[in-house]
Amino acid sequence: MLKKLVHTILLLIIAVPFHAQVGPVTLQCLQVQPTGDVLLQWSPAVDPLNQFVSYEIFNASSSDGVFSLITSIANPATTSYQHTTANPLLSDECYYVVVISSDGMNVFDSAPSPTVCTISLDVQPSISPPGQVLLTWTNPYPAGVPFANASYEVWQEFPVGNWSQVATLPIGTETWSFEVTQCEVDFNFQIFVETPFGCVHRSDIAGGTFYDITPPDIPVVSSVWIDHDTNDAVVEWNPSAAPDTQGYILYRCSGSTVTLLDTIFGATSDTFTDLLAPTGTGPVCYLLAAFDTCYSGTPPSPNTSPTGDICNCSVYLSPLAYALCAESISMSWTAYTGWSNGVSEYQIFLSVDGGIVEQVGAVPGSETTFTHAFGNPVPGTYSYYVVAVSTEGYEAQSNMRQVSIVYPVSPAYNYLSSVSVEGEGMIEITVESPPNATTHYYHLERRIFANTEWQELAVEAKLGGTDVTFFDTDVNPEAFSYSYRVLVRNQCNDWVDTTQVGRSMKLEGLSNTERLINVLQWSPYTEWENGVLAYRIYREDQETGMVDQLAEVNGTVTFYEDDVAELLFSSGRFCYTIEAVERPSSLFPGTSFTAKSNTICLIQAPVIWVPNAFVVDGFNTTFQPVISFADFDHYQMIIYSRWGDVIYQTDDIDAPWDGRMNGKLVQEGVYTYFISVEDGNGRPYEARGTVVMLSNRDQ
C-alpha cells in the first residue's frame, strides 16, 4: 500500500510543469556623459533555462520619486544603456533594473536591482571662508553602498585637458573645499567611485572661474635677535606656505603704537635687518603680515594677512656694573615675547677679551635675572649676552653688554733688598717694588729662630714709589740675628706675593791685648738671589768720629783681625761695623744692595809705663808716665811727700812733674806717685809707686 502511494506522488510531480524565473541583476555604474546623457551599466542576467524576455529600466528624478519605465531591452547580452533624455545637471537621476522572464506560460518580474543615482556635482566659490572652491555632491547609493571599501575620488581638470586626482574621501562625505591660490583660474571637477565590477561611477563635470581673495596665513615670526657686530636688530620668520605669496610687510611696535617699517618682496624671504633699530635703549618689537600676488576689493589691493596679536620683542640686557674685588656680576633682562608657547629657558653666554664664547649659566623661562659667580676675578673685558630658547627650538640672542673687570694688578716683583742694622735697637728692612696702579699692602713678618712661628710686625700701604721701608725697633741686634720676610696683599685681600727671607748679620769680636789685635767674626747675610759679593769692614776714627772703610773681604769670608799696634796712643776703644755687598741680581743687574751689621766696640786695656827716677837738670829732667790705649780726658797724676803731703797734682798728660813744689825745687829723695786713667769704656786704671828725684845742683 505504501509503495503504491509513493509511486502515485512521483507521477504527480512529473506531471506538474516547473515554473522558474530569471533572478535580479546589479546596477553597477552610472556615468554622466559630457553631453548630459547617463550611461548605465549592469551585470548580465543569469538565464540557464533560456527564459529571459527583457531588461526593463526605470528612472526617477530622486530616489524617493515616482519611477517610470524608460526603456526595455530584449537582448540579454546587452548590459549598458545611455539615457539621452536624462537631466543629471539639474537633479539626481535614479535608476533600477528589472529582469522580465517567461516559462512559455507565465511572465515573471525579477526583484528590482538596488537603486543607484547619478552623482550630481555642484562647484561654487565658498562664501565662508572666502577664497575657496566648495564642492558638494549627492549620494549615489540611497539604499547603501552595495560593496565594501568604497570611496569618492575627486578629480580636477587643470589646466584644460589635464585631469588629476586631488582627493580621496570616504563614502558619506559629500563636500570638499580647497583654497584658490591663483589670482584667476578655471577649474573643472568630477567625482568618481571605483567599483569592484570593472566600471567607474562618474558624476557630471562641474566647474567655473575662481578668484584668489584669501590672504596668506599669518607668518610666524621665529626670532628677533641682535647682531653683536653691528648692534642691528634681525627679524626672522617662517616663510608662508601659500604658493602665491608675494612678500611680507614688517611693522615696528612701540608701546601701543604700530608703524609700518618696510615691505620685503619674495615668498621665500625670511630675514630682515633693521638698521635703525634703537637696540641700545631697550627691546625692539615687530609684527609681520604676508601678502600675495592677487588683488581684490575696491580699489583693488593685494590680499594681505593680518598680523599676529602679540609683538615679537627682543631680549634687552640691562647695563652691567662691577665693584672692585667682587667675585660675581648680577644681570637682568627683559623677557622675550611673541612665541606662542613662551620661553623655555634663558641661556647666558660670556666671552673674555674677545676670546671663546662659553655658556656660563641658564635659568627657566620664567626668570629674567642671573648672577654669574666667577670666584677670584681675572682682569679683562667681560662680554655677556642672553639667548632666549623657545619650546619649539627657536633662539633669540639679546644685545651684548661689556663690563671691565679691574682686578688689582700685582707688582711685577717684590724683592727684599736689605735687612740692615741702623743703630742700637733698630733694623731697617727694605723691599724693592715697582710703581703700581693700585694700592697694595706689605705685611712685615719676623722670626728669630728657624723653628719658630712668623710674627707680623707692621703693615705698609703702597701705591707708587720704588721701595717699601720698615724699621723694627723692638730688637737687640747685638745679641740676635733676625729673619724677615714681607707678604704682599692686594685690595681684594688676596695674598699675591711673598718676598725671599732676609736675615740680619750679627757681629761679635774680642780684643787681644798681648798681640795688640782685635778679632772680628760675623754671621753671613742671607738671602740675596745671587749671594754676597763682599764684606766691607768699617772702623770709627777715634779722633774725628768718622767711620772709614778698613778692609774688604770676599763674600765667603766672615772673619777679620785688625792690628792696632800702631794705635797705642789712641783711647783704646775701637768700634766696628760690617757691610755686606750683594752680588747683582737678575732684577737689578746694575745694582748691588748693601746691608749693615750691628756695631761693636772693642777695648784694648791701657798700659802705663812709669820711670823709677829722674834727675833735675839731668838727662831725664821731669817725671812723666808713658800710657797707651787710654782716655786722657780722665787722666790724673798726684805726687806725695813721704809724710803724705801733696807736692804736685795735674790732669794734663802733657804736664810732667819737674821736681818743684810751688815753683821751688824739692829736696832729693823718694816720693810717692798716684796715676789714674780710664780705658775706652770708662773703666779706671791706676798706678801707684815711688820715684827717686835727684838733682845735679846745690839746693
Q: pLDDT value at position 15?
A: 38
Question: Which SS3 state, helix, strand or coil, does residue 3 take?
Answer: helix
Q: Is 545 left (phi over 0), alpha (psi -120 to 50) or beta?
A: left
Q: CB count, 10 Å around CB of 257?
A: 8
Q: Is the peptide bond before 527 cis (omega within 30 degrees of 0)?
A: yes
Asked, colleague to colleague, whether 415-500 and 607-695 share their fold, the answer is yes
pLDDT at 638 over 70: yes
**What is the model's pLDDT at position 143?**
87
- 328-405, which class in CATH? mainly beta
Contact 505, 523 (CB under 8 A): yes
- Does residue 485 surpass a pLDDT of 70? yes
- The C-alpha cell 827717686 sits at 692
- Give the Cα separation of 414 and 441 in Å (integer): 12
Rounded CA gap, 483 and 479, in Å? 14
Average pLDDT over residues 537-545: 85
Alpha carbons 399 and 385: distance in angstroms, whole number: 6
Instruction: Give the CATH number of domain 121-211; options: 1.10.10.10, 3.40.50.2000, 2.30.30.140, 2.60.40.10.
Output: 2.60.40.10
The b/e string for 47-56 (b: 16+ C-beta within 10 A; e otherwise) is: beeebbbbbb
pLDDT at 229: 94
Fill in the amino acid letter for 599.
T
The confidence score (pLDDT) of residue 242 equals 83
Residue with cell 538596488: 114
Give the pLDDT mean for 436-445: 90
Give me 473's grid cell.
725697633
Give the whole-angstrom CA distance, residue 135 versus residue 462. Answer: 93
Rounded-to-integer distance, Cα 73 and Cα 617, Å: 202
The helix, strand and coil proportions of the chain, stated in percent and rounded to the nearest 5, come to 0, 50, 45
Provide, rounded to the nearest whole percent, the portion of the chain with pLDDT above 90: 70
Is 26's pLDDT higher than 80?
A: yes
pLDDT in tens, 663-690: 899 999 999 999 999 888 888 999 999 9
Strand partners, 220: 238
Q: Which pLDDT band holds residue 184 (cuts at 50, 70, 90)?
A: confident
Q: Which residue has the higher pLDDT, 231 or 182?
A: 231
For 27-117, the fitting CATH number among 2.30.40.10, 2.60.40.10, 2.60.40.1730, 1.10.287.1040 is 2.60.40.10
E strand or H helix at 7, and its extent?
helix 2-15
Burial 554-581 (b: 16+ CB within 10 A, else e): ebeebebebebeebeebbbbbbbbbbbb
pLDDT score of 491 = 87
514 vs 385, residue with greater confidence: 385
CATH T-level assignment (fold) for domain 415-500 = Immunoglobulin-like (2.60.40)
| φ and ψ of 688, to 5 deg | -125, 145
Give CA–CA dist 476/506, Å, rounded.
10
> Residue 195 and residue 322: Cα distance in Å, rounded?
81
Model confidence over 453-478: pLDDT tens digits?
999 999 998 876 678 999 999 999 99
The yes-or-no verdict on residue 249 having pLDDT over 80 is yes
DSSP state of 567: G
pLDDT of residue 14: 39
Task: For residue 93, give Cα distances in angstroms to 28, 60, 173, 459.
Answer: 15, 6, 20, 114
Is residue 78 predicted with pLDDT exceeding 80?
Answer: yes
Query: Which of the four pLDDT bands, split at 50, 70 and 90, describes residue 2?
Result: very low
- Region 4-16 average pLDDT: 38
> Do 469 and 502 touch, CB atoms closer than 8 A?
no
pLDDT of residue 6: 36
pLDDT at 498 over 50: yes
E strands of 171-242, at which residues? Answer: 175-179, 184-194, 200-202, 206-211, 220-226, 233-238
The CATH fold of domain 607-695: Immunoglobulin-like (2.60.40)
Separation of alpha carbons 337 and 310, rounded Å = 7
Give 658's contacts (C-beta < 8 A, 6+ positions apart).
616, 621, 622, 623
Nine cell digits for residue 476: 737687640
pLDDT at 436: 82
For residue 632, the model assigns a pLDDT of 84
Does the structure show a pLDDT above 50 at 7? no
> Domain 507-603 maps to which CATH number in 3.40.1260.10, 3.40.50.2300, 2.90.10.10, 2.60.40.10?
2.60.40.10
**Range 655-660, long-range pairs (CB < 8 A, 24+ positions):** 656/622, 656/623, 656/624, 657/622, 657/623, 657/624, 658/616, 658/621, 658/622, 658/623, 659/614, 659/616, 659/622, 659/623, 659/693, 659/695
* Predicted confidence (pLDDT) per residue in 272-298, tens digit: 999 999 999 999 999 999 998 888 777
For residue 365 the three cell numbers come to 623661562
- With cell 770709627, the residue in question is 540
pLDDT at 699 over 60: no
Q: What is the mean pLDDT of residues 2-27?
A: 55
**Mean pLDDT highest for which of 69-78, 88-97, 204-213, 434-443?**
69-78
Q: How far, rounded to the nearest angstrom, does the alpha carbon of residue 538 sit from its chain's CA centroid?
A: 63
Topology of the domain covering 220-313: Immunoglobulin-like (2.60.40)
Least confident of 254-258, 478-482, 575-579: 254-258
Q: Which of 6-15, 479-488, 619-628 has the highest mean pLDDT?
A: 479-488
Alpha-carbon gap, residue 336 to 396, rounded angstroms: 8
pLDDT at 5 over 70: no
Strand partners, 343: 390
CB-based contact 594:581 (threshold 8 Å): yes
Res. 698 pLDDT band, cuts 50 70 90:
low
Q: Per-domain residue ranges for the chain?
A: 27-117, 121-211, 220-313, 328-405, 415-500, 507-603, 607-695
Which secondary-structure segment (H or E) carries 250?
A: strand 245-254
Higher pLDDT, 418 or 409: 418
Band (pLDDT 50/70/90 cuts) for residue 339 is: very high
- Among 169, 185, 194, which Cα is nearest to 243's? 185
CA distance linking residue 187 with residue 123, whole number of Å: 9
Q: What pLDDT is recorded for position 8?
A: 38
Is pLDDT of 401 > 90? yes
Sign (positive or negative) of CA dihedral 254, 256, 261, 264:
positive
pLDDT digits (tens, 9 = 90+) for 109-141: 999 999 999 999 999 998 888 888 999 999 999
| pLDDT at position 465 | 65
pLDDT at 4 over 60: no
Over the chain, what is the mean pLDDT?
Answer: 90
- The cell numbers describing 1, all together, are 500500500
